[in-house]
Structure 1
Amino acid sequence: MWSTLPAFLGACLLVAASPGPSTVLIIRNSLRGRRSGLLTVLGNESGVFLWGVFAALGLTAVLDASEVAYDVMRVVGAVVLIGFGVQALRTARRMGDGGLGEAAAPGEAPPTGWRSYRAGLLLNLANPKAGIFAMAFLPQFVPQGAPHLRSMILLAAVWAVFEVGYYATYVWGVGRLRALLSRPGARRLLERISGGVLIALGIRLATEG
C-alpha cells in the first residue's frame, strides 16, 4: 500500500480540486459558520466513504450495468440538486425582503448541525456519478496481490480523510472572509449564485444521456 499511496493522494488532490456541487454546498453552508461548514464536509465525506465501500462490495457495478438503475439515481440526484438550488434562491429572496436569511425565516427552525451533515451526505449519495467514479478510481491503486475488499475500503477511508482536510481549508477561508461575505448584499449575491449553479447542475444531470 505504501508504494501506491503518494500517487493515490496526488489523484485525490486533483479530484478534490475539481469544482462540483459539493464544493458549492460547502461554501454556502460555511457562510452560516465554521461548525455548519465542517459538518457539511463530514457529511459529504461520509458519502465518499460509503461509495467506496459500495464499490468494494461491487454494488456500484449495478449503476454501470443497469441503465434503469442509473437513470433512477440520476433523476433523484437532479431533484436533490435543484431542491438545494431553490432553497438558496428562496433564502436570497427573503434577505432581499429584509429578512435575515434562512436562519431567521419565519416558521423555520434555525439550521442545526444535523441538517448540515445530512445535506452534505444527501448531496453526495444522490449523485450516481460519484458511485461509478469510485468503482473506476479506487481499484487502480490496489497493489497487486493485496486483498481487494480490505484494500478498497482502506483507500476509501484515506480518500475521505484527505478530502476532510482539503475542504476544511475552504471552511477556514470562508470564515476568514465572513465579515465581508456576510454583508446583506454580498450574502444575497452568493446565495443567488450558488442557487443558480446548483439548479444548472441539476438540470444538466437530469437531461444528460
Structure 2
Amino acid sequence: MTPLFSFLFAITVLTLTPGFDTALVLRSAAAQGWKRASATAFGVTLGCLVWGVAVGLGLGALLLASEMAYNLLKWIGAAYLLYLGVKLLLKPRSQAENAQGEQKREQGYLACFSRGLFGNLLNPKVGVFYVTFLPQFIPAGASVPLWCTLMALAHMVIGLIWNAVLISSSHYFAAHLRRPAVLKMMDRLTGCVFIGFAAKLALSRR
C-alpha cells in the first residue's frame, strides 16, 4: 500500500498546481455555467485516463523514444492552444452563452467536453510525465497495464473532485462574471493565457 499512498499524495499535489487545465475549467465555469464547465472538466480528466491506459500498453513510451512523434504531437497541441487563444482574443463574447440560443448550440456539452479532452491529449508532456512518473509506484511483479490504468483512474477522480471545488467556488461570482464588460475582459485574458501555454509547449524540450 505504500507505493499507492505515495502516488496519491504526489498526484494530489500536482493536481492542485494551477495550469492550462485549471484555466480552461475556470473560464468555462465563469462564462458558460457549471454544467458546461463540468463537461470540460470531465474531458480533461478523461484525457488523463486515456494517457494512463496508453502508457500501460506501452504506447506512451513512444513519446519518450521517438523525437519525431513527440515533436509532432507537441506542435499539434501548440497549434490547438494557439487557435483557442487567438479565437478568444479576436472574438470575445459580450453575452453569456446561456443567453444566446445560437451560441448555446455552438458551445454545447460535446464542444466543451472535446475542448477539455483534446487540450489534454494534445499535450505530449502529459504522456511523457506519465511514462516517467507512474512506473515509480508500480510494485515489483505487478501488472503494468493494470496499475497504470488504476493510477490514472485515481488521478481522474482526484481531478474531478478538485474541479468540482473550483466550479462550485466560481458559482458565487457568476452574476458578476457574466457582465458584458467582464466577459470580454475574461475572454481576452484567457486567450492570452492560452497563447502563453501554446508558446511554452512549442518551446519546451523533453
2:69 partner letter:
A
The more displaced of 16-25 and 75-84 is: 16-25
Q: Does 1:87 align with 2:87?
A: yes
1:189 partner letter:
M
1:178 partner letter:
A
Q: In the superposition, relative to structure 1, how do residues 9 and 56 fare at CA in structure 2: closer, same or farther (>3 Å)?
A: same
Q: CA deviation at 1:204?
A: 2.2
Instruction: Kindly report which structure 2 residues correspond to 1:15-164, keeping only aligned pairs within 5 A, or say none.
Output: 15-31=14-30, 32-92=32-92, 94-95=93-94, 100=95, 104=100, 109-164=105-160
For residues 28 and 5 of structure 1, the distance between their equivalents in structure 2, rounded to whole angstroms, comes to: 33
The more displaced of 187-196 and 142-151 is: 142-151
Q: Does 1:185 align with 2:181?
A: yes
Q: CA deviation at 1:13?
A: 1.4
Q: CA deviation at 1:142?
A: 1.3
For residues 109 and 194 of structure 1, the distance between their equivalents in structure 2, rounded to whole angstroms, comes to: 22
> C-alpha deviations, 1:84-111, integer Å up to 9, x for none?
112222342x42xxxx256649788342
**Contact conserved, 2:25 with 2:167, CA < 8 A, in 1?**
yes
Count of residue pairs brought into register by the alignment: 203
Q: Does 1:8 align with 2:7?
A: yes
Structure 1 counterpart SS, 2:105: coil
Q: In the superposition, relative to structure 1, how do residues 167 and 106 fare at CA in structure 2: closer, same or farther (>3 Å)?
A: closer
Q: CA deviation at 1:8?
A: 1.5
The more displaced of 30-39 and 180-189 is: 180-189
1:83 partner letter:
Y
Identity percentage of aligned residues: 32
In the alignment, structure 2 segments of 5+ residues that lack a partner are: none
For residues 70 and 117 of structure 2, the distance between their equivalents in structure 1, rounded to whole angstroms, comes to: 19
Q: 1:174 aligns with which of 164, 170, 173?
A: 170
Q: CA deviation at 1:184?
A: 1.9
In the alignment, structure 1 segments of 5+ residues that lack a partner are: none
Q: CA deviation at 1:53?
A: 0.6
> C-alpha deviations, 1:39-95, integer Å up to 9, x for none?
101000110000001111111111111111111111100011111112222342x42
Runs (4+) off by over 4 Å: 105-108
Q: In the superposition, relative to structure 1, how do residues 182 and 17 fare at CA in structure 2: closer, same or farther (>3 Å)?
A: same
1:133 partner letter:
F
2:88 partner letter:
A
Q: In the superposition, relative to structure 1, how do residues 206 and 71 fare at CA in structure 2: closer, same or farther (>3 Å)?
A: same
TM-score, normalised via structure 1 length: 0.90
Q: In the superposition, relative to structure 1, how do residues 55 and 110 fare at CA in structure 2: closer, same or farther (>3 Å)?
A: same
Structure 2 counterpart SS, 1:4: helix
For residues 178 and 68 of structure 1, the distance between their equivalents in structure 2, rounded to whole angstroms, comes to: 44
Q: CA deviation at 1:144?
A: 2.5
For residues 106 and 114 of structure 1, the distance between their equivalents in structure 2, rounded to whole angstroms, comes to: 15
